[in-house]
Structure formats: C-alpha cells, structure tokens
C-alpha cells in the first residue's frame, strides 16, 4: 500500500492552521505553532540536542508554503525560520499527534 498524498493544501491564516486533505479522505488540521515546534532542520535538531526548548510559538504564523518536488513542503514562518522540510509522511504523523 502506498503512502497517502495530499489532494488539497490550504493555509488558514485567521485560525493559524495548515489544512491538508489526503487522497484517502483523511484531513489534517495542523496548527502553525505545532509545525514550528516540530521542525527537524539541522539548526532545530542541533538546538534540541543541546536541550534548548523552543518558545510556545503561539504568535507564529506561516508566511509561505513551498512544494519540495513531490515529496513534501518547505514551510516559512513569521519568526523568520524557513529551512525546515516537512515530508508528507511527517506531516501526516504530526496531524495524528
């Protein structure tokens, strides 16, 4: 069985949600703050290993959503962070949490 892929991606700025409709009819509503906190870029991974904890991110919003080939998204946040790549499987996992 192949992994689910999105059929629709919508940024809801007012509610600070990234909404993904998947090809298996599931829907993920991902808060911007959760996405920012779950970034796995090199800088965020290194900070986590040092024991640094990110702020609550309550005021963080998505400012851009960029496709990364056909494998996921690059998300850019209002705090200037924009290096994280979120594969489809990871976005699905975050949505299930």
Cβ contacts of 4 within 8 Å, gap of 6 or more: 22, 23, 24, 26, 88, 92
**For 42-81, what is each residue's pLDDT tens digit?**
999 998 899 887 666 778 999 999 999 889 999 999 999 9
Architecture of domain 6-96: 2-Layer Sandwich (3.30)
Q: pTM value?
A: 0.90
Where do the domains of the chain lie? 6-96
Q: State how far the alpha carbon of 44 is from the alpha carbons of 34, 41, 49, 83, in Å.
A: 14, 5, 9, 9
Nearest Cα residue to 79 out of 55, 60, 58: 60
């Amino acid at each position: 069985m192949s992994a689910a892929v999105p059929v629709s991606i919508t940024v809801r700025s007012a509610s600070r949600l990234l909404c993904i409709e998947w090809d298996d009819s599931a829907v993920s509503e991902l808060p911007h703050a959760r996405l920012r906190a779950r970034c796995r870029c090199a800088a965020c991974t290194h900070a986590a290993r040092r024991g640094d904890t990110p702020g609550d991110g309550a005021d963080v919003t998505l400012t851009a959503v960029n496709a990364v080939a056909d494998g996921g998204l690059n998300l850019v946040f209002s705090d200037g962070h924009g290096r994280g790549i979120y594969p489809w499987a990871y976005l699905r996992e975050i949505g299930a949490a």
